[in-house]
Structure formats: C-alpha cells, structure tokens
Structure 1
Amino acid sequence: MLDSVRRSGTGLGRFARLPDLDPEVLRDDLSRVSTPTMLVLWEQLTLTEPGPAIGALITHHAPIGTFGLWDYLVTTGENLIETLKRAVAYLECIGDPAGEKLQTIEDGKHFTIRHATGTWVPDVVEAIELFALAMLLTRARAASRRPIFPHGVTFAHRPPHQHRRRQLVEFFGTRNISFDAPSNSITFRDDDVRAPLPKAQPGLEEILMRHADLTLAASKPVLQWRDRFRATLAAALHEDNPTLEHVAQRLAMSPRTLQRRLAEHGTNWREEIEAVRQQRTMDLLRTTDLPLQSIATRVGYSDVRALRRAVHRWEGQPPHAVRQSAKPVH
C-alpha cells in the first residue's frame, strides 16, 4: 500500500504520525497493522486515482510473493479449488477478519468466491472490493500458469464510468461484469478450478498451513495511535509538563492537529488528561504511602483539595477510603 502511495506521487510525510507505518514495524512480519491505518492509505489512493479501478491498478504491482506466506498458500496445492479454499480459510494472514469476509460456493458447474468489506467511505469500499477480487484472480492465474478467465464478476457498488468499465473488462477478461449486485463475487468454471496445478508439490501445503498457524499465534497488534498518545501524555505527567503544546511536540505535530486527531477518536484534550490523571492517581493511592500533597503534585493538581474533589468525582469516595479499600484484609 505504501509503495502504491509512493507511485501516485504523494509524499509519505503525512503518514509518519501513524505508529503502524514505522519502518521497524513494517520490517516485522509478526506486526499487525491496524485497519484504520490501512483505510487512511486507501483513502489517499482513491483521492489520487478517482474511481474504483484503483484496486485493479494496485494489483498490477503486486506479483506473487507480495503477500508473503498467504501467496504461497494460494498457489501451492493440487488444484485451484483446494488452494482458493485455503486462501479463504487463512484470510487473517493478510486482512482483518472483523472487517473482511470471504465465502466459497460450489454448485457442480461453477466455483464462486464472495467478498464483503466494512461500511466505510463509498469510494474506499469500492476500491477494496475490486482489489480483493482482482487479487484472487491474479493468484489463480499464477498458480495455474495460464490465463484463466472468470465466468462472471459481480460488484455491489454502482456502475463506474464507461472508461473505467472498459478497464475492468480488460483486466478480468470477461464482459460478464454486473454492478448493483447483491454481493461482490468472482465465479470460475468448474473445469478451471479442478484442473491439476503444474507445480503441485504434495505435502508442501501442510507445512505452509502449520507455518501460518504458528505465525498467526505469534502475531501482535501494533500500538494504536490513541494508546501512543496516552503513553506520551503519561510521560509528560511524570515530567511535570502535561501541556497540550508539550505533548503535541513529543508527537511531532501541532497543538491544533493534536486536537483534531483527538476529535477524530471521539475525545478531547480535557477528557484525555482527566483519564490519565485518574489512572495515575488511583495507582499511587493503591500502591504507595505517598502523602496526598505529593500525589497531587505528581499528577498536576495545584493542591490537595483539588485532588480530593477529583477522587470523589471518579470514585464517589475520598482518597483515604480508596487507599483503605486497597489494603489486604487480614
């Protein structure tokens, strides 16, 4: 996705604030980049290349190996019907199973894969829908080593302009493309998906699936932006400098941008600093014997009275009661 953004001529500077896209994160195969970050990249691409055909254009620059282990799960096996089912089963290797859904259907004559994605900006959804079907087709062609043409393709979104439609016909190799359909799908002929694959290696698929299972079990989510912000705010609190300007500087953005990002997450500076102060205060009350004045100073309150009011607002009881309830009962 980042390579596609680069090719579009867009500078990557505006994406530097996204912790998911840190170079160290992207070099780690076990990192799970968040869906919101991917959507930011998709949105940028749809703004640069208007129209849902952007999905197919990206696929042109994604040869076998681009998607790592998942690509080899798709292209290694006895026939396409087995490898494509495997690709559906291991969607989590490359996508968010909470936002992406794949389903296979067989009727003896055709093999259909349906795809559904989340309810985001329409242009972004259209591009992702097209990308998913285009990706399945390119992998099927790579595995079979021949130009497979689908029996039909359907999209749930509206028809594109005539020029875009011609692009899709050329890419998929069929004029049987429908829009405003009940679902997004790509349908292959049964003969195509049951034909033996030329490079089948018996037993290799079992090794790859075990590797996929181990990889998914060891994968880890990348720190979300709001979590990173809260960690920075907590550090500023420790430094006795919990100001909007200081935290924004630590996050390499302007105070106005920080306020906008917080609004995008349904919160604001006042609520966030209150939440971090609350967590820090409760920790100090429950795990230390520090005087209330020291705690007030550490969490940025002017005096003990302000601390008492805050604790009563959060817990419905005074600080000494919170501290007493945290002591073990003998």
Structure 2
Amino acid sequence: MNEGSNSVGMARMMIKALSHAGMDPAAFAHLPDLQSHVLADDLSRVSTPTLTSMWEQLITCDLGTAIGAQATTLVPVGHYGVWDYLFLTGENLIDGASRALGYLNLVGDPSTERAVTIEDGRLFTIRHQTGPAVPEVVEAIEIFAQMLWLRRAREATRRAIVPVRVTFRHRPRRTHGHLVEAFGTANIEYDAPYNSLTFLDGDARAPLPMSPPGIEHVLLQQADQVLVASKPVLDWPSMFRMTLATTFAEDSSPALDRVAQRLAMSVRTLQRRLGEHGTSWREEIETVRQEQALKLLRDTDLPIRSIAVRLGYSDVRTLRRAVHRWHGRPPHTLRKGLAPTELLVPADG
C-alpha cells in the first residue's frame, strides 16, 4: 500500500526548503502531483520520483547534501500530522520512537524507507536507510532523517539531549562542520555499515513530560485510518512516464539505470514492472521521443536538424524515418500553421 509515494508533508517541506535555499520551487509546479489541490489535501501521497527531482535540485546549494540537516528546521511538530505525535508520546523515548518508526510509511515511501530501534540496557540506537536512488540524494535524505529523529527526540523529552554517536554510510564531506554543529557532537563516523543515531539509556528511558496516559492508543487508531484513507496521486505507469519524460528533458538518451534510480528500484525490477504493464523500455523510449518530436515540430521554429539532436538521433534522416513511421508523413508537414499548399513544398525535413 502506498509504495512509490510519500506523504504530502514531505512535498510541502521540499517546497519550503527550495525557497529557503534561494531556489524557485515553481520550476516543479508543472508536475501532476505538485498541483495546488494536491498540496492542500493532507491525504495526498506524492510520488518518490517527484521528491527525488526536488532533492536533486536542493543539493546543488552551497551546503550540498548537508542541507538535509538544515531542512528539518522547516518541519515543526505537527507538520507530519499524527506521525509526529506518535514520536512525542508514550512512556519514554524508546516507546515513542519505536512506535513512530513502526509507522514510518505515514511519512515516507514504504518500498524504500527502513528504520529499526535497538536497545541493550546501556544505549538506545535508531538505524535508518533509504534507496536506491542517486547517491547524493540518498545521502541528503539520510542526513535529513537522522536529524529529524534527533529533533523529535529533543521535542519529546523537552531536553537538548545529545547523541553519544552518529554514523553515516557515506564518506565525509567538506560540510562535516555543519553536521557537527547540527547534531551537537563531534563523534560522527563515516563510511559506516549503516546510518545510526545512538542515545544514552538514561536519556532514552526518562519519562516524557507531556504524554497523557493512553493517548498512544488513540493516535494508533488515527494512524491506521490515515494509512487506509491516503491516496497516491499517480499510479505506477503514470509515475514511470513522468520520470522518463523528466529524465529525457535532461538527456535525450536517458540510461535505464538512471530512470531506475529515480524510481528507487533496481534495473531488473523496473524491467519486470514494465513487462507486467505490457510494455518495455524500448517501447517507452520510442513513445517519449514521438511525443517530444511532435511538440518540438508544432510548437517551436527549431530547424529539423536541431530537433534531431535534441531527440538523440544521429542525423536528420533517422528523424525523418521515425516521424514517417509514427505519422505517415515527413516532419515538415507537422509544423503548426502550415497552409495545405505549403505541405507540398519540399523542405529540409
């Protein structure tokens, strides 16, 4: 349920983060799952590829992937609805965090997000990972998640607790100092086998000051209702085609593995899913080229040679053959506004 999608709260956060970083979120407003009516609906689920595209833009800022830590300042308690309050309630931090992370699919993509809690009597640890996706995006999301757990832990305990250890799967960056400041500790390990956030057992077991007895049961009922009622805006074929079109706009010969990364799945899984929907990678590439060719021919004055290059064709003759196969006539006859007599005049297309 809800695989390939995230809560609308994640999209709202990304819009805030882009604006905060001096970028224009309107560049993504054309995407079907970022329309105003979608963003206004608390039960909407936004596609993972849409959020991936936004993260790809966000990490181009000066902070790079460390922007993930700063982004958590834009999500106060309540931003993620019932999930936030699951984290903040219970007997202690172990109780609240374990319950909230068990319902992580309220916020993130259930097909990619994994989180577990571990306690050994001395320490309490939260481990998390996401992916597959573009490596830098994975890194930024995992920094964001670790910092979000810490912020909610501090809000739940109402104390500025500091983790005794933080680990990341990625290698150290020049922005290490920003992470030390954000997490409040220099005990940050990189190239670790997993991402983790570790607290002293005393901090993790301290009673939560503002947690009415029994409230967690009410919240769990609400969480279950939200999961049932929430709805992805895009079905899988629409999600794939939007991702392919976006990638094609950046590269006229998009690689299969690049699109698979944006969909947060392996190449083999992507090929299998396409087959289940009665299509293939080759057919989908042909379709997007056909759509783009028609758009460029009808809506622009670009020379036929330039259009061939934009579509990833080696020469004009290849484009001509493709257009004739699709429409039964040469490219120049598809130019918008041509009079019937003009269609008979030979052109470079």
Asked if TM exceeds 0.5, the reply is: yes
CA distance in 2, matches of 1:209, 1:261: 47
Partner amino acid for 1:5? L
Question: Shift of the alpha carbon at 1:173?
Answer: 1.4
Shift of 1:92: 0.5
Report the identity percentage.
51
Q: 2:226: which partner in 1? A: 215
Q: Which has the larger radius of gyration?
A: 1
1:129 to 124, 138, 142: 142
Q: Which residue is 2:217 aligned to?
A: 206
The question of whether the paired residues in 2 share the 8 Å contact of 1:19 and 1:225 is answered with: no
The alignment's TM-score, normalised by the length of structure 1, stands at 0.70
Question: Which is worse superposed, 117-126 or 262-271?
Answer: 262-271
1:214 CA drift (Å): 0.7
Query: Is residue 76 of structure 2 the alignment partner of residue 59 of structure 1?
Result: no
Distance 1:260 1:206, change over 3 A: farther
Return the alpha-carbon distance in structure 1 between the equivalents of residues 127 and 49 of structure 2: 23
Choose which of 164, 188, 212 in structure 2 pairs with 1:177: 188
- When the two structures are superposed, what TM-score results if normalisation uses the length of structure 2? 0.66
Distance 1:257 1:230, change over 3 A: closer
Deviation per CA, 1:236-284: give whole Å up to 9, x if none.
Answer: xxxxxxxxxxxxxxx9x9xx9599599886423548989xxxxxxxxxx
Residue equivalent to 1:93? 106
Do 1:259 and 1:268's aligned partners in 2 also have CA atoms closer than 8 Å? no
Q: For residue 292 of structure 1, what is the aligned residue in structure 2? A: none
Does structure 1 residue 8 correspond to structure 2 residue 21? yes
In structure 2, what is the Cα distance between the partners aligned to 1:123 and 1:91?
22
SS at match of 1:52: helix
Residue 80 of structure 2 is aligned to residue 28 of structure 1: no
Provide closer, same or farther for how the CA distance between residues 270 and 94 of structure 1 changes in structure 2, counting only shifts above 3 A: closer
**1:260–1:226 distance in 2 versus 1, CA, 3 Å:** farther
Post-superposition shift, 1:51? 2.5
Cα distance, 1:80–1:261 mapped onto 2, change above 3 Å: farther
Decide whether aligned partners of structure 1 residues 213 and 152 sit closer, same or farther in structure 2, where only a CA change above 3 A counts: same
- Relative distance call for 1:165 and 1:200 in structure 2 (3 A) is same
Residue of structure 2 in register with 1:76 after alignment = 89
Check conservation: 1:119, 1:125, Cα contact below 8 A: yes
CA distance in 2, matches of 1:230, 1:273: 13
**Inter-partner Cα distance in structure 1 for 2:82 and 2:201:** 26
- Which shows bigger deviation, 10-19 or 83-92? 10-19
Query: Which amino acid is the alignment partner of residue 120 of structure 1?
Result: A
RMSD of aligned residue pairs (Cα, Å): 2.9
Give yes or no for the alignment of 1:188 onto 2:199.
yes
The alpha-carbon distance between structure 1 residues 220 and 260, as it changes in their structure 2 partners (threshold 3 A), is farther
In structure 2, relative to structure 1, the CA distance for the partners of 1:18 and 1:193 (3 Å cut) is: same
Paired residue secondary structure (1:33):
strand
- The verdict on how the C-alpha distance between 1:260 and 1:110 changes in structure 2, with shifts beyond 3 A counting, is same
- Work out which of the residue numbers 34, 37, 61 in structure 1 matches 2:50: 37
Q: How far, CA to CA, are the matches of 2:58 and 2:201 in structure 1?
A: 35
Q: 1:234 maps to which residue?
A: none
Alignment CA distance shift 1:30-1:160 (3 Å): same
By how many angstroms is 1:60 displaced? 1.8
Q: Give, in whole Å, the separation in 2 of the partners of 1:257 and 1:47.
A: 18
1:73, 1:185 → 2: CA distance?
20
> What displacement does 1:107 show?
0.9
Q: Give the partner amino acid of 2:215.
A: L
Residues 274-304 of structure 1, C-alpha deviation per residue, up to 9 Å, x if partnerless? 9xxxxxxxxxxxxxxxxxxxxxxxxx999xx
Describe the SS at the equivalent of 2:125: strand
- The partner residue of 1:268 within 285, 289, 293 is 285
Letter in 1 for 2:230: S
Paired positions, count: 253
Q: Give the secondary-structure state (helix, strand or coil) at the position aligned to 1:185.
A: strand
- Of the structure 1 ranges 80-89 and 48-57, higher mean CA displacement relative to structure 2 is found in 48-57
Inter-CA distance 270–168: structure 2 relative to 1 (3 Å threshold): closer
Which structure 2 residues correspond to residues 215-234 of structure 1 after superposition, within 5 A?
215-223=226-234, 227=238
Name structure 1 gaps, 5 residues minimum: 232-250, 275-299, 303-330
SS of the residue corresponding to residue 191 of structure 2 reads coil
Partners of 1:34 and 1:224 within 8 A in 2: no
The answer to whether the 8 Å contact 1:230/1:272 transfers is: no
The one-letter code matched in structure 1 to 2:228 is A
